[in-house]
A and B are shown apart, each in its own frame.
Chain A
Amino acid sequence: MKVALAGNPNSGKTTLFNAITGRVEHVGNWAGVTVEKKEGNIKKSLVEGNADIIAVDLPGAYSLSPFTSEESITSEFVKKENPDVIINIVDATNLSRSLFFTTQLLELGIPVVIALNKSDLSKKKGITINVAALSEKLQCPVIETVSTVTRKNGLQDLISAAVSVKGKKQKSPFEGLEVDLTDKKSVEAADKKRFELVKAIVAEVEDRKTSSNRQTRQDAVDRVLAHKWLGIPIFALVMWAVFSISQTYVGPFFADTFVGWIDTFNGWVEGLLGDRVSPVLKAILLDGIIGGVGAVVGFLPLIMVLFFLLALLEDCGYMARVAVVMDRFFKKVGLSGKSIIPMIIGTGCAIPGIMATRTIKNERQRRTTAMLTPFMPCGAKVPVIALFAGVFFNDSAWVGTLMYFVGIALIIIGALIVVRITGEKNKRSYFIMELPEYKFPSIKRALVEMFSRAKAFIVKAGTIILLCNAAVQIMQTFNWKFQVVAEGAENTSILATIASPFAILLIPLGFGVWQLAAASLTGFIAKENVVGTLAVVYSITNFIDTEEFALINGATDVAGVMGLTSAAALAYLMFNLFTPPCFAAIGAMNAEMEDKKWLWGAIAFQLFTGYTVAFVTYQAGTLITTGAFGSGFLPGLIAVTAMIGCVAYLMKKGEQKATAKSALKSA
C-alpha cells in the first residue's frame, strides 16, 4: 500500500514523514525545503497487523492548478505515483488557506485522510476547530496530529484511518465543480467558487479568539531582525556567534578528546603491525589511510556543533528573515528572491542547494543561481576552514564568518556579471515569501539533524576520502618507475610530477608548491580531501593538538611545516572555497542547467573567481604586512587582467544585445 503526503509548504509534511517512517530527512521551518519526493516505510509500531505501507513525501504546494509551474511538480507526482491513499497535511493554524488545496485533492478520486497538523499550536493561539463537523463537511476522516512530539501525537490514528479508507470510494463534497481544465476562465471561476466553499466551511467549524491580521510581538521582532540597515550586521553577528561556539569554544573541546582517540588508535595499529610489515605498506596504512582520514575525521566534533547550531537557526524561523534582508541586494543584481533558498540550503551541501533551484521559473535566474550556489561554504568545506582558522589564525571565529560573507559577496558580484553577459538585466521579478512564525527551536530535531550529518560525514570519510588518501600516499611514495622515492628526492614522486605544473600557475597566489597544488586538486573529488591530502603530504597526522586546548600550541609548527604566511594561507583557503565545487556538485549543476554552454561557462567563471580572489588576497595581504608585493606579482597581474578583460568583453557584448533588444521592443 502506498500513501502520499501532500500539503502546503511549511505545513509540516517532512516532519510528519520523519515521524511516521523514522527517517531523518532535512526539515526547515520555511517553504521550499523539499523539492524531490522522498519515500520510506511506515514504522511497524504505527501499523495494525504489520502491513507494509510506503509513505511518499511530496514537495509542498498551495494548489494543483495546472497553470503554475511549481505546483505542477506536485500534481505530476500525485498522478504518476498513483497512491492508494493521500494524507493531506493541513496546517491547523491556517485552515482558510490550506483547505483550498484539500478541495482539489478530494476531486482526484483517491481516498483522502486529513492530518490536522500543528494542532497544539492552534490551541495555543486560541483557535478551536470542530473536527467532527469538518470531517462531515469534507466527507473524509480528519485526525488531529502533533508530529513534533513522540506521544499522543495522533499518528497511530492517522495511519489506521488511512488503512481503513483504502480502496473505498469517497464522495467529493464539491459536486457541480466540473471544470474544463483546458479553459482558463472556467478554471478560474471554479477556483473562486472553491474558495467560497472553503470560507463557508471555515466560518462554521473554526472559532478564533484573535484575528491574525493584528500586529504582534512577531512583527516587532521582524522589524529589528529584518531591518534595512540592522539586518546584515545582525546576521553577521549571528554567524560569528555560530563560528565562535563551534570553532573556538565547544568544538575544539570535543575535538581534543576525539583526536586523542584517533592517535591512540593509530599507535595501536602501529604496534599491531610490528616490524615485520614493510615500511612502505606501513606508511600507506598509518600515514595515508589512518593519518589522512583521521585528520579529516578530527574535525567531526566541530562540524557537528556547527550543524546543530545551524539547525536551531533554521528551526526558529530566522532564515526566512535573512532571505527578506538579502532580497534587496539580490534584486539589484537580477536574481530572484527565491535564489536565497538554494544558497542557504547550500550551506549544508551544495548538491541539494543546486537541486532547489528547480523552483525558480526564469531560466537565466535558475542557471545563475545554480552556478553561484557553490560559493556558499558547504559542510565539506568546514574542515578546510577550521584547519586554516586553527593553524594560522588562532581559531578565530572571524575566519569562518568572513568566508560566509565573502561567499555572499561573490554571489552578488557574480550575479551582476552574469546578468550583464546575458543582457537581460531589465527583467522584473517579484518576491513573495511566507514568513513562518518564530518558535523555540526543537533541540531534538537539531540533534537528529546533527547526527545525520555526522553519519554522512563519517561514511564519506570511510569511503571516498579513504580511497583518495591511500591513492595520494601511494602516488607520493613511488615514482613513475614504481620505485620508492628516496629521501630528499620527493619531487620525483608521481604526485609531485602531476601537481608541479599546476603549482607554477599558483605562484602568484602565494602557494606555488606541489604539495598544496595536489591538495587543491584532490579537493575537486571532495573538499575534505584538501585536509586529508595536506595531512598526507606533510605527514601530519593530526591538526588538532591533543595537549592542552589546542590548535594554538601546535599552530606554529604546522604553519611552519607548510611554509605559508598568513596572507598566503588566507589566499589558499579562499582559493579552495571559491574555485569550482566537487565533481558531484558539478554534476548537479549540469542536471539543473540543462545546457553545456552554461555549465562550462559556470566552471570557467568559478575558476576565474577563485584565482582572482586568491591573487588579490595574497598580493594585497603581503603588501600590507611586508610593504612589498608577493612573488609572481607581474605574471599574476597579467593573467588576472586578461581574465577580467575577457569577462568585461563578454559583458559589453551582452550589453549591446540588451540595447538591441530594447530598441527592437520600442520600435
Chain B
Amino acid sequence: MDHTVSSKIILPFSGRTKRNVNEVTNLANAQVNKEYVIKEVKTDDEELKNFLFTLGCYEGETVTVLSVVSDNLVISVKDARYSIDKDLAEAIIV
C-alpha cells in the first residue's frame, strides 16, 4: 500500500489518472507481454495457494500477462495459458 501513497505524492501533476506503469505491484497492474517474477502469492485462501502452486505459480517463478479479456487476464505460467480474474491477479505480487 505504501507504493500507492508515494506515487500520489511524487506524481501529483503528471496528469496521469492511472498509476505509474513503473510501479507494478501485482499482476492486475502488470504490463501486457512482459515477463515478471512472482514475489509472493498473497491470500488467506490456502487451498487456492496450493492449487496455484501445483500449476507452477509460486514465488520465484515467472509469469506473463498476454491479454485482458472480459475483465479477466490471460496469463502464461509454465507452458499453459490460464484465464484469471482481477481478484486473483491482485493476489499475485510481482
A contact residues vs B (CB 8 Å cutoff): 62-63, 65, 67-71, 93-97, 100-101, 188, 191-192, 195, 212-215, 218-219, 222-223, 226-228, 231, 320, 323-325, 327-328, 331, 337, 361, 428, 430-435, 437
Contact = CB atoms under 8 A, between A and B. Distances in A.
B2 interface: no
Contact of B80 (A70, A94, A195): A94
Contacts of B53: 188, 191
A97 B70 contact: no
Which residue of A71, A432, A433, A437 has the most chain B CB atoms within 10 A of its CB atom?
A432
Given A67-B46, A328-B71, A215 B66 contact: yes
Given A69-B47, A432-B88, A212 B76 contact: yes
A222 B74 contact: yes
Contacts, number: 119
Contacts of B69: 222-223, 226-228, 231, 324
Given A94-B78, A96-B56, A435-B83, A328 B51 contact: no
Contacts of B50: 65, 67-68
A213 B66 contact: yes
Interface residues of B, number: 37
Contacts of B40: none
16 contacts: A67-B47, A68-B47, A97-B79, A100-B56, A101-B54, A213-B66, A213-B76, A215-B66, A228-B69, A324-B69, A328-B70, A430-B85, A431-B84, A431-B87, A432-B82, A435-B82
A228 B69 CA distance: 6
Contact of A428 (B71, B80, B87): B87
Interface string B60-93: 0010101101111010111111111101100100
In order of increasing CB-CB distance, the 5 nearest A-B pairs are A226-B69, A213-B64, A62-B54, A63-B54, A213-B76
Given A214-B33, A215-B66, 7 more contacts: A96-B79, A100-B54, A215-B33, A223-B67, A327-B70, A327-B72, A431-B87
A231 B69 CA distance: 9
A236 to B, nearest CB: 15
B37 interface: no
A327 B69 CA distance: 11
A596 to B, nearest CB: 28
B48 interface: yes
Given A68-B47, A331-B85, A97 B72 contact: no
B85 to A, nearest CB: 4
Contacts of A191: 53
Given A100-B54, A195-B56, A228-B71, A219 B85 contact: no
Q: Is the interface of A mostly helix, strand, loop or mixed?
A: helix
A96 B51 contact: no
Most A Cβ at <10 Å: residue of B50, B52, B62, B71: B50
B51 to A, nearest CB: 6
Contacts of A231: 69-70
Contacts of B67: 215, 219, 222-223
Contacts of B85: 327, 331, 337, 430-432
A433 B54 CA distance: 14
A435 B74 contact: yes
A100 B56 CA distance: 9
Contacts of A68: 47, 50-51, 54
A480 B69 CA distance: 63
B55 interface: yes
A47 to B, nearest CB: 33
Contacts of A223: 67, 69
Nearest to B47: A68
B63 to A, nearest CB: 8
A290 to B, nearest CB: 50
Contacts of A323: 83
